[in-house]
Amino acid sequence: MSRYLTGAFAPLKREHTEHALSVEGRLPSGLDGLFTQIGPAPAGQPRRAFDGSYPWFMQDGLVCGVRLRDGRAAWFRNRWIRSRRVARALGETPAPGPRHFPIDTVNTNLIAHHGVLLALVESGCLPVQLSETLESIRYTDLNGQLPRGFAAHPKVDPATGELHALAYSPLRRWAEHVVVAADGHVNLAGRVDLGGRPLLHDIGLTDRSVVFFDLPVRFDVRRAAAHAFPYRWHGRHRSRIGLLPRAGGPVRWLAIEPCFVYHIVGAEEAPDGGLTVHALRYASLFDDGTDPLARPATLWEWHAEPGADYAVARPLDDLPHELPRTDPRRECRPRRLHYGITHDSSREQSGLLRFDRRSGRGEVRQLGPGVLAGEAVFVPRAPDGAESDGWLLYFRTDLAAGVTALVVLDAADLTGAPVATVRLPVRVPIGAHSSWIRSDEWKAMA
């Protein structure tokens, strides 16, 4: 059996709703919102490739969430996104709305923007609008404004509320630059000719540009035909970083050495045109059939001088980690801190990392053998304040006990006792991304 169907990944059997969860410690009253995790977990029979393998990334989307309000944990819910496949497994009607892609599985990320809670996936399918209780309302093209899908990792400029995304699909050799204003108006700002079909998971956002990697992990039609994960390493592809002006216009390309990046930590542009990008780098991925999640990524920096057509990369640290998160108030601005998850597979043990660029060092909270963490999200204590002033929220799963808790740490005291721990009624399977959605972010929801 695949390791993605057992232990920490084992799918839940049904949907749960539990109210008035027990809390150790004191939940800060300032935490008024939803903590969620979305990830692949089959609702019924898993999706299998023709060779019998289990492509984890392609399974049904499951959202698990906890509502925090008034110093209480009001409820826990887990809900599958009502794709056609999930609806069939549950004997229900699929969520209404357009799809724009043959596969309508949505399983990668969750955001709120212009008052709408959206579950996201990349590579072609449209988002699903969720209710504040995590029910699938509809697949949405944002009132007819998204002609060709969306993206899993859009970035929002906190100064303007403007969202930027690069929508790509294996059906096209170009990506679409989608800009969504704070009021929900969509501007299709232009197309980026990719000369092929790369996996384009994340972007960076500066005050002037969208920054992205164009790398050798690319669509493979033979793998797609076999219903396997349809991307693999193509060694002959030239790797590069693209800088796309936020207002539209030609891309500036910077040649780089081959590698793979899922997640960008941050990007900074100097007034003179110099660029610095921080990201979690894999030497290669999907190149030899080995387990993609077993390959560690480490923090690297790419730097390009003004006017240069290439960027030079260097490692900043050797501690493998993934799922980087930063202070959302500082998107588009230089950031000193980021958080991430370390993993020791020999002991099935996660750690929470806080990396400080100023000192060049990372501090780790080890969770102990058999204890795993989902993505840790930094939640600011207030709309303004110091970069470390806030909480770190994450799902902590004890494998032996088969239980998960939502843990709240003081972000400035990474290794100290938790501020609060919320016991959940079920084990939350390992997923993709976690999110914190403030209650005022969905107030305008239809």
Cα dihedral value 355, 432, 121, 226, nearest 10: 120
Angstrom distance (rounded) from CA 213 to CA 239:
8
Q: Could you tell me the CA-to-CA distances from 298 to 255, 276, 301 in Å, in that order?
A: 20, 16, 10
How far apart CA 154 and CA 179 sit, in angstroms, is 9
Distance CA(167)–CA(179), nearest Å, equals 10
Looking at residue 223, what DSSP letter applies?
H
The response to whether 164 counts as a known ligand-binding position is no
Q: Closest Cα to residue 391, out of 371, 375, 404, 376?
A: 376
Number of helices (H) and strands (E) in the chain: give both, helices first: 2, 33
Q: Where are the alpha helices (DSSP H) in 260-356?
A: none
CB-based burial label for 143 (10 Å; 0-12, 13-18, 19+)? exposed
Tell me whether residue 227 is annotated as binding: no
Strand duo 174-180 + 275-282: pairing: unpaired
- Give the HSE-up count for residue 179: Cα atoms under 13 Å, Cβ half-sphere: 18
Alpha-carbon gap, residue 438 to 31, rounded angstroms: 8
Listed in sequence order, the DSSP H helices in 177-302 are 221-225
Q: Are 177 and 190 a contacting pair, CB within 8 Å? A: yes
* Rg, Å, the chain Cα set: 21
| Contacts of residue 346, Cβ cutoff 8 Å, sequence gap at least 6 | none
What stretches of 96-178 show up as alpha helix (H) in DSSP? Answer: none
Tokens representing residue 205 in the block = 């956002």
Helices of type H across 48-124: 84-90
Taking a C-beta distance cutoff of 8 angstroms, is the pair 428, 397 a contact? yes
Binding residues: 153, 201, 263, 433
Binding residues for Fe cation: 153, 201, 263, 433
